[in-house]
Amino acid sequence: MAEKTLDALFHDTLKDIYYAERKILKSLPKMARAAQAPELKAAFEKHKGQTEGQIERLQQVFEIIGKSARGKTCDAIEGILAEGDEIMEEYKDSPALDAGLLAAAQAVEHYEITRYGTLKRWANVLGLADAAALLDETLQEESQTDVDLTSIADAAVNAEALKPAP
Ligand SMILES: [Fe+2]
Ligand SMILES: [Fe+2]
């Protein structure tokens, strides 16, 4: 078996998050439609726009390492998004729907944060400063999204979830 180095691992992980981002892009409009609180709907819509930009940044990183932009099935994001779908079905028309959606979205953000945090560090170690800067920009967006979702949870959604079903 050929010896695999950090640049191979970097490329593989890039493919993983590229796959994940494109899945997330498809899932966000569904989540925005399902969300009841206008703040949560707006947050999902805003993040959809950001995700488009994040995909473009990843394409730039592929270019920097001289590889074509291609994804590789990411079981982790499949699982996290499947749980989100389950919540949308099981909590449809329930006061706890938004709390569930928000929690599912935060699981997605945390997955992205761990991936981008790692990729950014590896890019630096590999001497890919431009790639590291691109990955850091996305890392900041994902972290801010997570903070914003926490604010929405605290401000509106979690209290709403306690109310009895109509
Ligand atoms: Fe993302
Ligand atoms: Fe995200």
What are the pLDDT digits (tens) for 32-89?
A: 999 999 999 999 999 999 999 999 999 999 999 999 999 999 999 999 999 999 999 9
Nearest ligand to residue 47 Cα: 2
Q: What is the whole-number distance in angstroms between the Cα of residue 165 and the centre of ligand 2?
A: 30
Distance 93 CA to ligand 2 centre (A): 25
CA of 107 from ligand 2 middle (Å) equals 10
Return the structure tokens found at 50.
């950001």
Contact in structure between 91 and 98 (CB atoms under 8 Å): no
Q: For residue 165, report the distance from its CA to the centre of ligand 1, in Å.
A: 33
Measured in Å, residue 3 CA sits from the centre of ligand 1 at 31
What integer pLDDT is reported at residue 3 of this predicted model?
79
Q: Closest ligand to 144 CA?
A: 2
For the entire predicted model, the pTM comes to 0.93
Domains and CATH numbers, the chain: 6-160 (1.20.1260.10)
76: tokens are: 């982790």
How far does the centroid of ligand 2 lie from the alpha carbon of residue 60, in Å?
A: 18
* Run of H or E residues at 44: helix 38-64
What's the DSSP call for residue 96? T
